[in-house]
Amino acid sequence: MIGTLKVLEAAKALKAERVVFASSASVYGTPQVFPISETVTISPISPYGAPKAASELFLGSFEENHGIEAMSLRFFNVYGPRQTPSQYSGVMSVFGKRALNRQPLQVFGDGSQTRDFIYVSDAVDMTVAALERNLKSRVFNIATGNETTILEFAKIMQRITESRSDLKLGPPCTGDVARSVADITNARNELGLVARTPLDAGLSATIRWLAQEGGTKRADQHTIRERS
């Protein structure tokens, strides 16, 4: 949040035309209506989502007081090469490394929770489109509009890597969102773009990178099956 304020102050000093902020679907918290529209009330429940929501408010105030066009992009689950695991992202890289190494894939809860996964190149294309548009006070979901359960996601990883990794179910994570899928109508109509990369194709490309660069024990690329 402090970083966002510094960027806004710099934009003001430089008389920048617009600022595009990388927000997150985590600002929605646990919505009750799906797919999730940008018009729903934001109510973050995680320490990651709270400052994202606050930063969106700062953008709005700078636009109102200093005339800087403000746009927030609410990224859903972005994945792709060079992704590193963390508390709030990176399930793909965790699953990928473990599948390549034939280690168990730990699924928290029963695996029925869903996510809207978008490949990094599609997210980049939408970000560039946002930078090029003359739009004020706009918020866009950056996603595919498709939901995949975590259990389905893990099984796709097994298939792509031809892995014998076991699937293990564990206790659910505190504060885990049960369902997440975006309404992408605004991004499609106003940014003029939709995600083009199927989940299988994006995961295959990411797994190839993990096998080559991730230091896995099982880096024999020929075992990675391309499915698109």
Domain boundaries, the chain: 2-223
Q: Does the pTM exceed 0.85?
A: yes
**In this structure, CATH architecture of domain 2-223:** 3-Layer(aba) Sandwich (3.40)
DSSP symbols for 109-138: TTS--EE-EEEHHHHHHHHHHHHHS--SSE
**Token match 């505190």: residue?**
174
- Taking all residues of the chain, what is their mean pLDDT, rounded to a whole number? 89
| 8 A C-beta contact, residue 137 and residue 78 | no
**Token match 């510094």: residue?**
6
pLDDT at 180 over 80: yes
The structure tokens listed for 194 are 């939709």
pLDDT at 138 over 50: yes
Instruction: In whole angstroms, give the CA distance from residue 158 to residue 181.
Output: 23
- Which is catalytic among the residues 48, 79, 88, 119? 48
Instruction: In whole angstroms, give the CA distance from residue 145 to residue 36.
Output: 9
pLDDT of residue 225: 39
pLDDT of residue 85: 65
pLDDT of residue 92: 84
Q: Identify whether 48 is a catalytic site residue.
A: yes
If we measure between CA atoms, which residue out of 63, 32, 27, 56 comes closest to residue 42?
A: 27
pLDDT of residue 221: 40
Average pLDDT over residues 172-179: 87
If we measure between CA atoms, which residue out of 124, 114, 119 comes closest to residue 204?
A: 119
